[in-house]
Structure 1
Amino acid sequence: MSTRHEAAAAAVAVQAASCQTWAELDAVARRCTACPDLVLSRSTVVIGDAPEDSRLVLVGEAPGAEEDRTGRPFVGRSGRLLDELLAEAGLARDQVAVLNVVKCRPPQNRTPGSAEVANCGGWLDRQLTLLAPELICTLGLSAMQRFLGRRMTLTAARGVVHDHAGTRLVATYHPSAALRFGPRGAPRAALREDLRTVAGLLTAP
């Protein structure tokens, strides 16, 4: 990452760390201009959903077209599948915080670049500090690697309860992968299994 990108990420981290409440972070993050390409492509900044006292945080990759239009995460086809599988696992969407690694929609829904992930890192880190969840569940490769490193594969990360700064972390597939491979594909079965694991961890004594 270039010196310019490092400076942008550092500036975001300072701004984010100064936010004492979710509402304050929301207001400040919506004015973010750290990623010029994303400023041009976005309609809004999708901060995320954070019900009060959320014990579980789901972290995806970045907003898509529907999310950019509505300002809420996971409201398109991927979101509907996620809601369905959460309900199957006994988890209510309205009791779960749902965030993305990157808060702005990348052009043509491309995968966020490493500089964009780094620039948005301050917002995500501060969100997690404010929420203080019992468990984090990452959805997809980009989200998993944000926490576990770029050398980690999703195959290797699955099936293990990781530790992230003292918080348990489970990695699974993004719902979009489950949609691509169809209802009988391996990603959907894995996502279903992993969300049930998450539910079990939250109910275990």
Structure 2
Amino acid sequence: MSGTVSRRIVAAWLREVGVDYVLRPTAREETLEDIRKELTECRRCPLCTGRSTVVFGVGNPRARLMFVGEGPGSEEDRRGEPFVGAAGKRLDRWIARIGLRREDVYIANIVKCRPPGNRAPFPDEAKVCLPYLLRQIRAIRPEIICTLGATALNFLLGVEGKITRERGKWRERDGIPVLPTYHPAFILRDAARETEVFEDFDALASRLRLPPAK
């Protein structure tokens, strides 16, 4: 799923939340399964009423590289897995380009339930769900996070910025390097920009010390 985050929505998010959410210490090391079990019962925002399933995340629980998108679409909601369909296949191609497989990385979203009409999440929805994502990040401990699209960039990092300006610029979240790039759905609509994604994935590969793309 890919939508557009308006400046008004981002501004509201920054006023309400900002970057106050941090990965706080817990009494013991939490596992992804711990978080998943809690999420299956989540009723903390109205998105729960329209979901078929919670779309938790998929991939290697000890991945070095983690991808964060915005939220599940209709197919993801049906299958319970993020980034399936055409956008998911495009993301898989990008991952393969740097010598990795979908099973090697971890893929999650800002929100775990499908927003109506595939719209972008609202600030109150992201506010409720963001702590779950941060707990996933704590459990996985990735070396690098790559955000896909403006929504993931804005809500994970608590910044207001257009993805066309911010992609390819390294940032940081709780000590973890974060590289924003375009959402695969955006590239399906504007294939000419895919070369910029290739540049970003080359940067990811370089930071991870992976072999150069072939």
TM-score (norm 1): 0.85
User: Does the alignment pair 1:82 with 2:91?
Assistant: yes
SS in structure 1 of the partner of residue 58 of structure 2? coil
1:18 CA displacement:
8.5
Between Structure 1 and Structure 2, the one with more helix by share is 1
Q: In structure 2, which of residues 152, 173, 179 is the aligned counterpart of residue 170 of structure 1?
A: 179
Q: In structure 2, which of residues 162, 165, 173 is the aligned counterpart of residue 156 of structure 1?
A: 165
1:163 CA displacement:
1.8
CA contact (8 A) 1:175 1:191 kept: no
Q: In structure 2, which of residues 110, 115, 126 is the aligned counterpart of residue 106 of structure 1?
A: 115
Whole-Å separation in 1 of the counterparts to 2:118 and 2:201: 25
Whole-Å separation in 2 of the counterparts to 1:147 and 1:26: 19
Change (3 A) 1:173 1:17: farther
Whole-Å separation in 1 of the counterparts to 2:33 and 2:133: 14
SS in structure 2 of the partner of residue 177 of structure 1? helix
Whole-Å separation in 2 of the counterparts to 1:78 and 1:172: 14
Whole-Å separation in 2 of the counterparts to 1:199 and 1:63: 26
SS in structure 2 of the partner of residue 72 of structure 1? coil
Identity %: 39
**Equivalent in the alignment of 2:61:** 52
- The answer for unaligned runs of 5 or more in structure 2 is 1-11
User: Does the alignment pair 1:26 with 2:32?
Assistant: no
1:65 CA displacement:
1.1
RMSD after superposition: 2.5
**Equivalent in the alignment of 1:196:** 202
**Equivalent in the alignment of 1:117:** 126
**Equivalent in the alignment of 2:135:** 126
SS in structure 1 of the partner of residue 43 of structure 2? coil
CA contact (8 A) 1:60 1:101 kept: yes
CA contact (8 A) 2:59 2:102 kept: no
Q: Which has the higher contact order (CA 8 A, sep 6+)?
A: 2
CA contact (8 A) 2:110 2:126 kept: yes
Change (3 A) 1:123 1:97: same
1:45 CA displacement:
0.4
User: Does the alignment pair 1:95 with 2:101?
Assistant: no
- The answer for unaligned runs of 5 or more in structure 1 is none
Whole-Å separation in 2 of the counterparts to 1:32 and 1:19: 21
**Equivalent in the alignment of 2:49:** 40
TM-score (norm 2): 0.82
1:172 CA displacement:
0.4
